[in-house]
Amino acid sequence: MTKGRVTVIDIAKAAGVSKSTVSLVLQGSSLVNEATRTKVNAVMRELGYVYNRGAANLRQSGSKSKIIGVVVNDLTNGFFAELAVGVDMVVQSAGFVQFLSNTSESPDRQREVIASMREHGISGLILSPARGTEASDLKPIVASGIPVVVAVRNVPGAKVSSIASDNREGVFAAVQHLVSLGHRRIAFLGGFRDTAVFNERLEGYRAAVAACRVEQDDDLIVDAAPSRAGGAEAIGRALSISNKPTAAVCFNDAVAFGVCDGLRAKGIEPGRDFSIVGFDDVIEARTAVPALTTISVDPQGMGRRAAQLLLKQISAGKAEAETIVSSVRLVVRDSCGASGVPVGREQA
């Protein structure tokens, strides 16, 4: 015994029924008599049967493999890890399993990984694309009819569903908050002008500046690398103009930290002498000094919604490409010197 794996035929023999009946039991069909069902189940347990999904898949025309692929650009980054966990939650409870891979921001690796997943017959893909992903990278998988949901960043020309945070609204709220604290000259710092995310956020800034009737001045908009170093550079340039800003909303939290560095280097204490708002609410935002006021985007929730959308598309055969914007919320901490202001302070 124990020579080969136990198959549905072994079960059938041992239970004195046909393989078809066993298959029916496996699928929980209502066509099978209660007595035989229990009998078959007992035998399966006894022989230590394990279902061979590969074989099943082969027969069923592919689409229902119960595997969904998740490809993430940087799992090391808490943001994306949370995203993956969110996806896993809903995917798992829908009886699917998750194929998760990390691309480390390499489009090449991303291509390989996606190809490999395709070979394994995934029935859907959630992708948080590596920087530099082109629409052509997604072409083959989209063409094959496998539902794809792109999360967080979107891929310019690709005809796929996507879910991203509400960049416009987030920055709008940030500016509004700063205005409510009395600021009139507010800078927008960091980020590359040629990215979609930058433009959405900038648009939010412009809209808020207009809506709040505070000073409008293109010198207050300083682009720079979306990194800590970029932040330091940006604040330097922003403070070199004659009519200086007193507050800034930053492209993301990394930039915000860089801005803090840059301010301190000039003897200006962030949070007390200058107000700063970030974007993303990365883990360090909470523990940094001063704790960073920022726009929180709930990556896990985003993951869950991405998964739900994907599952919907899978079961629907194939729906239209759909775009979800995930709402964000302002988390007030200490970097605006705003301790104690009457604006929904962070709970706990």
Partner DNA sequence: TTGCAAATTTGGAACGTTCCAATTATCAAG
Partner DNA sequence: CTTGATAATTGGAACGTTCCAAATTTGCAA
Residue 236 interacting partner from DNA, its own copies, none (CB closer than 5 to 8 Å by kind) = none
Distances (CA, A) of 148 to 106, 159, 249, 297, 326: 19, 9, 33, 22, 17
- Residue whose C-alpha is closest to residue 183's, from 345, 335, 286: 335
Q: Considering the rule CB under 7 A, would residue 116 count as an interface residue with DNA?
A: no
Residue 23 found at the interface with DNA (CB under 7 A): yes
240 binds, among its own copies, DNA, none (CB under 5 to 8 A by kind): none
Contact of residue 136 among DNA, its own copies, none (CB under 5-8 Å per partner type): none
- Cβ closer to its own copies: 196 or 283? 283
Q: How far apart are the C-alpha atoms of 208 and 202, rounded to whole Å? A: 10
Shortest distance, position 37 Cβ to DNA, whole Å: 7
Q: E strands, the chain, where?
A: 67-72, 97-102, 125-128, 148-151, 161-165, 186-189, 221-222, 247-250, 275-277, 294-296, 323-326, 329-331
**Rounded Cα–Cα distance for residues 97 and 167 (Å):** 31
Q: Which of 9, 42, 97, 211 binds its own copies (CB under 8 A)?
A: 97
Residue indicated by tokens 């230590």? 48
Contacting residues for 88 by C-beta, under 8 A, at least 6 apart: 70, 98, 100, 303
- 100 contacts its own copies (rule: CB under 8 A): yes
CB of 206: closest distance to its own copies in angstroms? Answer: 32
Least spacing, CB of residue 6 vs DNA, in Å: 7
Bridge partners, residue 296, by sequence? 280, 329
Which of these segments, 49-57, 204-212, 241-249, 278-286, binds DNA (CB under 7 A)?
49-57
CA 262 – CA 258 distance, rounded (Å): 6
CA distance 195 to 167: 12
On whether the CB atoms of residues 172 and 201 are closer than 8 A, the answer is no
Q: Which of 55, 115, 211, 316 binds DNA (CB under 7 A)?
A: 55
Cα within 13 Å of Cα(311), Cβ side: 19
> What, of DNA, its own copies, none, does residue 8 touch, CB below 5 to 8 Å by kind?
DNA
List binders of its own copies among 271-300 (CB under 8 A): 283-284, 287-289
By CB under 8 A, is residue 120 in contact with its own copies? Answer: yes
Site for DNA in 205-234 (CB under 7 A): none
Q: Which residues of 99-135 are buried (b: 16+ CB within 10 A; e: fewer)?
A: bbbbbeeebebbbebbeebeeebbbbbbbbbbeebee
| 60: contact with DNA by CB under 7 A | yes
For position 50 contacting its own copies by CB under 8 A, the verdict is: yes
Interface size with its own copies, residues (CB under 8 A): 50
**Residue 30, token pair as written in the block:** 């209502």
Among 1, 2, 4, 213, binds DNA (CB under 7 A): 4
34/320 with CB nearer DNA: 34
- d(CA 220, CA 224) in angstroms, rounded, equals 13
Task: Return residues touching DNA (CB under 7 A).
Answer: 4-5, 7-9, 17-21, 23-24, 26-27, 31-36, 49, 51-52, 55-56, 58-60
Task: Return residues touching its own copies (CB under 8 A).
Answer: 4-5, 48, 50-55, 57-58, 61-62, 65, 67, 75-76, 78, 81-82, 84-85, 88, 92, 97-102, 104, 109, 112-113, 115-121, 140, 143-144, 257, 283-284, 287-289
